[in-house]
Amino acid sequence: MYIVAIAWIYVVLMVSIMQPSLLRGVVTFVGAGVFPLTIVLYIMGSPRRRRDRARREAREAADGSEQPSVEPDQ
């Protein structure tokens, strides 16, 4: 997934370098490269974040159930 992102940034960088003005180059790089790529990487990373969250919650639930219960003295 990251190799495609790196390749896309490279292509957009080359296109933005060829723009006639610096402003157009920056707008092209951000508008056609960085901004869309961050959205795509965020969407494609959501299954992993969901899986990591489920593992973390399962680990916390398992850690919580293994602790001995201590009853207060009365």
Residue that the structure tokens 């610096």 belong to: 22
**Per-residue model confidence (pLDDT) at position 1:** 77
Structure tokens at 27: 């707008």
Q: Which two tokens stand for residue 45?
A: 């990373």
Q: How far apart are CA 1 and CA 66, in angstroms?
A: 39
Q: What pLDDT sits at residue 67? A: 53
Q: How many CB atoms lie within 10 A of CB 33?
A: 19
> pLDDT by residue (tens digit) across 54-74?
999 999 888 876 555 566 665
On whether the CB atoms of residues 8 and 28 are closer than 8 A, the answer is no
Can you tell me the distance from the alpha carbon of 43 to that of 49, in angstroms, rounded to the nearest whole number?
10
- Total-model pTM: 0.69
